[in-house]
Amino acid sequence: MKSGRIVVVFLLTLCSLTSRGQSTLKWEHLPGPLSPLLAYAETLVADKTGVIYSGTRGKGVYRSVDKGNTWVEIRKPIENGFVNALAVDSNDNVFAATRLGLFMSSDHGENWTKILADKAFVWNEDIEHIVISPFNQIYINYRTRTSYRATIGEFVWDSITCPRDFVFRVEPSGKILSSNNKYFPEYYSIDNGKTWTTIDYLTVAPNVNTMWSPQYSGTIAHVITDSGLYRSIDSGKTFNYQAFKGKYFGLYAHSAYGILFASTKDQISNKDTVFVSHNFGLNWTPITTRPTDSLLRQVFFVDSQRILAIWGSATYASDDSGRTWKYSMLGTGYVSKCFTTLDGRLAALAGQAIHLSSDLGASWVSIPTPYQPHDAIVNHDTLYFSVYYQGQVYKSTDKGISWTMLPLEAYSAQLAILNDRTLFVAADTSLYTSVDAGVSWKQIEIDPDTSSSAAVTTVVIAPDKTLWVGTSGGLFYSADTGKSIGIVSTVPMFVNVASLHFDEESGVFVNTWQDISHSHMKGVIWTTIPPPVGVPFSFRSLEYCRGNLIATAEEFGVLRTSNRGRTWIDESAGVWNTFVVGCYAHGGYIFLSTTGGLYRSIDTSLYADTSSYIGVKDSNDEDNLRFTVWPNPTTMFCDFTVEVPHFGPLDIVIFDQLGRQSKKIEFFANAPGPHQLKLFVGDLPAGQYLISAYFEGIVATTKVIKQ
């Protein structure tokens, strides 16, 4: 026989007719937390406004507006795209050639449109290279060295037959250059690609590997051959040997600032030596303070001092014309979770660190972790975090300076803390507890009928210190910290519990893969909240704030309802081109953890200025909640008249202007109709307050002035 409390469940199912309303929340993208972006960089480009884009292998495009100091990840619609090439036209349209096709953005990467499928012309081949001509045309090149051309905006494509592999460049004169690599042209055409002529550069060596065209520096030009680097000061008419005789070149880069880079590669060890010149190639100096031993793959000149370079798979930056380098790919990438620490700070998990903020996300302190955290707990100077795949839980008692692995094997572990010594860990099909701060552990039997096969999906400590456990087989509750656990419900709505959310004013919300359920009375009476019509139900997280239920869904962003699901409002506007992972209320704000960083609501209020009822106003609706407050303004007492449609629990809650609870009345209405309540407010500071009445998921709100 199972111990614990067995709860009777009644369902009050609501109307499932839902619609989309007008959004009211506005969002700002926070400048942190910053973490290393684990993206294999492939290419760098910039538009005329100075926005820099980095194409990556498998993680789409990253965007920087501060010369590459910080980056934001663009996930939709190219989140899984291997970006082979990027290009920007004269109107700052950005083009991305990916394994998912050719995309274009006209708003600095905020929105993307697929303009060509990945294998539109060549079966089973990716678009590898993009060229933008001065005549508003785009050229694409496939790996099979097949080229196509279209006018930008029209995108009617015709093929180009090149004597070499692909179109290299289109010059202002209309000359089309063709090449078999990305460094120098070998053929040109002056009749739009109908006929081609060989480019005869010079006779100093039989094999030219790459060339710096005279158009970049007026009369000075360089060519690299099998015999080294040669330099011309007469626009390429004559060349003289300059340096690197007999060296094999891995990369050659140049700029209009007179800064040149050359990497000479050892073909046996595959290591390279990188040289830099600051006087148009007259003198060369090896870079001895290079950031990595990986090969130099691309150099991108932001200005005469700021230079970005792809070394190996990572992007590095130099602020002294290439003399010294630092890691550049820091940014607001994937924030997997956001929560409040036990000492009241805002915490976020991003990259291989736990990030903490004491000023609502304006600034952050990052605590490095040995592995990327899956879940974490911050209790003043003591920190815990779990690792998803390794099945490990780590602890630090010195603010993350040192870490100790706890004696527990727990894969995909979710963590919860009751006090300084009592911890809970949900992992796979098991629930564990420790009463000595993680020194020793014991397993808690949840349900003898299902615990051997049911996955434990979440463990939560409610505000009243009770323990709640969600599994794939049901929802469970314990009032004695796990000594005895009873099942809350065995009805189908609690199969596959995805997440739980508690609020001191609203009770418990249960999110399954089918619907959302809510109870004011710890599971005695449940209300089903229908999802939006037309939205496949896959909510990832829930948050309740001032009478509003906010839910996140991967494909649909942020949704909000204030009337138990009758209407849902899409609040995703302003959440920039990313997937929303979760939402969290902290300090009167709503925070969104996304694959592109952390967002915060700009306005701390979710109410209209004169609203006295949030929801669907219909005098014939049996669920209407009538709510009046008198006197207003007031000095000592508030008299409430609340008319309820039927019996049930009723809560009256007063919030200050920061969203903090100031007063609360808990009342059970034993009959439908009006009920009179009185609340003393003489001890509250003078100011404006929000008063909300909660009844079975219905919320009515009004404002009151305390004098």
Segment-wise mean pLDDT, segments of 10 residues, the chain, 707 residues: 34 34 75 80 90 86 88 72 88 89 89 85 82 92 83 91 79 81 71 82 45 46 67 69 69 74 73 83 84 83 90 88 86 87 92 92 91 93 91 93 93 89 90 93 76 77 86 82 67 69 73 76 67 67 81 78 79 79 87 89 52 28 62 82 78 74 78 79 84 74 80
The predicted structure's pLDDT at residue 523: 62
The predicted structure's pLDDT at residue 138: 94
Q: Is 495 helix (H, G, I), strand (E, B) or coil?
A: coil
The predicted structure's pLDDT at residue 491: 46
d(CA 7, CA 70): 52
The predicted structure's pLDDT at residue 93: 95
d(CA 92, CA 74): 17
Closest CA to 628 of 640, 616, 646: 640
Residues 6+ apart with CB under 8 A from 661: 504, 505, 653, 654, 655
Token digits for 528?
Answer: 């089903």
d(CA 617, CA 627): 13
CA distances from 683 to 637, 663, 690 (A): 10, 10, 16
Q: Give the amino acid at 450.
A: T
- What is the gyration radius of the CA atoms in the chain, in angstroms? 32
Q: Which strands form 597-601's sheet, in the order they lie side by side?
A: 27-29, 597-601, 589-594, 580-586
Closest CA to 259 of 228, 302, 297, 230: 302
The predicted structure's pLDDT at residue 575: 83
Token digits for 227?
Answer: 């015999």
Closest CA to 539 of 558, 563, 567: 558
Q: Where are the extended beta strands (E) located within 611-660?
A: 626-630, 637-644, 648-655
d(CA 309, CA 597): 24
User: Residue 218, exposed/middle/buried by CB under 10 A (0-12, 13-18, 19+)?
Assistant: exposed
In the chain, % helix, strand, coil (3-state, to 5) comes to 0, 50, 50
List beta partners, residue 698.
695
Count the Cβ atoms, other than its own, within 10 Å of residue 183.
17
Residue reference for tokens 């009920």:
675
The predicted structure's pLDDT at residue 14: 31
Token digits for 347?
Answer: 């915490």
d(CA 12, CA 705): 35
Q: Do residues 656 and 628 make contact, with C-beta atoms less than 8 angstroms apart?
A: no
Count the Cβ atoms, other than its own, within 10 Å of residue 303.
12
The predicted structure's pLDDT at residue 646: 74
